[in-house]
Amino acid sequence: MRSEDMLTGGQILVECLKNEGVDVIFGYPGGAVLPIYDALYDSDILHVLTRHEQAAAHAADGYARATGRPGVCMATSGPGATNLVTGIATAAMDSVPMVAITGQVPTTLIGKDAFQEADITGITMPITKHNYLVRDVNDLPRIVKEAFYIATTGRPGPVLIDIPRDVSAGKTEYRDPGPIGLRGYMPRLAGEPAKVAAAAKLIAQARRPLIYAGGGVINSGAAEYLRKLAETIMAPVAVTLMGIGCFPGDHPLFLGMLGMHGARYTNYAVNECDLLLAIGVRFDDRVTGKVDSFASHAKVIHIDIDPAEFGKNVPVDISIAGDVRTVLVDLIKNLTCNPDPAWQEKIARWKKEYPLDYSREGLRPQAVIRELSDMLQGRQYRVTTEVGQNQMWAAQHFCITRPRSFISSGGLGTMGYGFPAAIGVQVACPDELVFDIAGDGSIQMNIQELTTAVNYELPVNVAILNNGYLGMVRQWQELFYNRRYSQTELTNPDFVKVAEAFGAEGLRVEKSAEIRPALEQAIASSKPVFLDFIVEREENVMPIVPPGEAISRMLG
């Protein structure tokens, strides 16, 4: 083999990434990945240098959720790799396609406690769909191809590739590995016909059907078919946090989020339905509350790409394994329906009696979100959230009308997620308005990424709902711990000055009348903007289902 035909492992990795269509990597360099970064220097792949590896993972996650394509993040060995762990776990819990690349000490030093050595494949085994330690540079093309295939097929998820420094620096000839075939890994796409027919029969018998839809609908690109199904059988549609956007928020059949912070009418509907059609969901404990009481009057049909979810949390009558879109197409062909007008009338009455509402006195966080929601309708926009009260208010009060435009950490509930995710979203969608809805606690967990946004001229806007507390924890202390506010009151920096110090813009809002002008100013700005909304300090997210209770037993 001629030396000019030889490539380093780093160069081979870059070629592999280009073949997978990768156009951006979010990462942070270090000694163990220097051969890769040297190869990237000559590449046309955009590398976004974050200020923390956790943020790189969240940015890749946001990019993936906004586009449906796998996000790619990279870090060096040891602490660089372990700093990715929270971001990888976040992606795993929400079924986000991601490929994480880490550097490793040379193969000769593995297991010898070398400088910056960490067993990242061992550490991430429970939070990845699969992971690899590459021991031979000749294996790199096959492994990269397999990693992208696994991350994006079946139930999406993160895959990690750990590359020792001697592998990324070693040389060999690059050869495309050809088609991928993995024994024992063949995700089922089409639903079993007999089960689809049985589901159609059960739907035809139902008088009070309800659809419970989740992120699996968005992942499979099935939003159009979900709408067709709901309108065909006239079933109201409740969504999970991950499912927000899979059904238009302004549709008459839309019921919003269910569960712990679901609206009363939504949870009442789940409690009284006689058929629950669960689509692309996993019956999360914050959705079901007390499992024995969840949809206790209903037959349950569960459609999901991952058969491991069937019966895991809630018993089901019919389970259909398959890609949600494929199954819905088949199911709709088989449908007849017998809608009961009284069911629609009852839900309409509940909506009128128990609306999601709030006080108009003072500056309320719900008012900020509703104003922003109203202003963005008709525009191309994406919303990310942090975690806590800000997240739940956004889920309750923001009208989301299309998939992949509401991006939030659901399963892991990762504080510090929203801002770096918004950076990834803005990279993916440079012509769209991107807002991160944050709390004053959560924004400080990755506030250093303001430098990233400024450096790459990403006009991400952050609406900080600043109440001087770790709001959701304080709310639980108020309701369930007799107002003993232990370690939840915050002393914050001046967010306006922080923004200005980073080279961004900062605006402070203290009155309701100032909300819209401030949002308009932020939207018009070409810079990242921190909007510091000084909201009512002890506003709560209502309703709330106390832990361990049935979801029909709400407070507020």
Q: Residue 414: exposed, middle, or buried by beta-carbon count in 10 A (0-12, 13-18, 19+)?
A: buried
CATH level 3 topology of 193-353: Rossmann fold (3.40.50)
| pLDDT value for 252 | 96
Q: What is the pLDDT of residues 427-472, one digit of tens each?
A: 999 999 999 999 999 999 999 999 999 999 999 999 999 999 999 9
Distances (CA, A) of 326 to 188, 309, 329, 332, 458: 10, 18, 5, 10, 37
Cα separation of 483 and 474, whole Å? Answer: 8
Cα separation of 106 and 288, whole Å? Answer: 48
Which amino acid would we find at residue 284?
Answer: D
| pLDDT value for 181 | 85
Strand-pair partners of 256: 238
Strand-pair partners of 509: 533
| pLDDT value for 2 | 66
| Residue labelled with tokens 């550097």 | 103
| pLDDT value for 350 | 97
The β-bridge relationship of strands 275-279 and 381-385 is unpaired
6-173, which class in CATH? alpha beta
Domain spans in the chain, listed from the N-terminal domain onward: 6-173, 193-353, 365-534
Cα separation of 463 and 461, whole Å? Answer: 7
Cα separation of 412 and 371, whole Å? Answer: 28
| pLDDT value for 192 | 96
Q: Residue 165: exposed, middle, or buried by beta-carbon count in 10 A (0-12, 13-18, 19+)?
A: buried
CATH level 3 topology of 365-534: Rossmann fold (3.40.50)
| pLDDT value for 334 | 85
Cα separation of 59 and 38, whole Å? Answer: 22
| pLDDT value for 95 | 98
Cα separation of 244 and 254, whole Å? Answer: 10
Cα separation of 526 and 425, whole Å? Answer: 16
In contact, 54 and 89? CB cutoff 8 Å: no
With a cut of 70, list the residues of the chain below it in pLDDT. 1-3
- How many helices and strands (H and E) does the chain possess? 22, 20
What is the distance in angstroms between the CA of the first residue and the CA of the last residue of the chain?
74
CA torsion 310-315-317-319 (nearest 10°) is -10
* Average pLDDT across the chain, whole number: 96
Q: What is the pLDDT of residues 270-307, one digit of tens each?
A: 999 999 999 999 999 999 999 999 999 999 999 999 99
Global confidence as pTM: 0.97
Sign of CA dihedral 225, 226, 228, 233: positive
Burial annotation 478-512 (CB, 10 A radius, 16+ → b, else e): beeeeeeeeebebeeeebbebbeebebbbbbbeee
User: H or E stretch including 432?
Assistant: none
Same topology between domain 193-353 and domain 365-534: yes
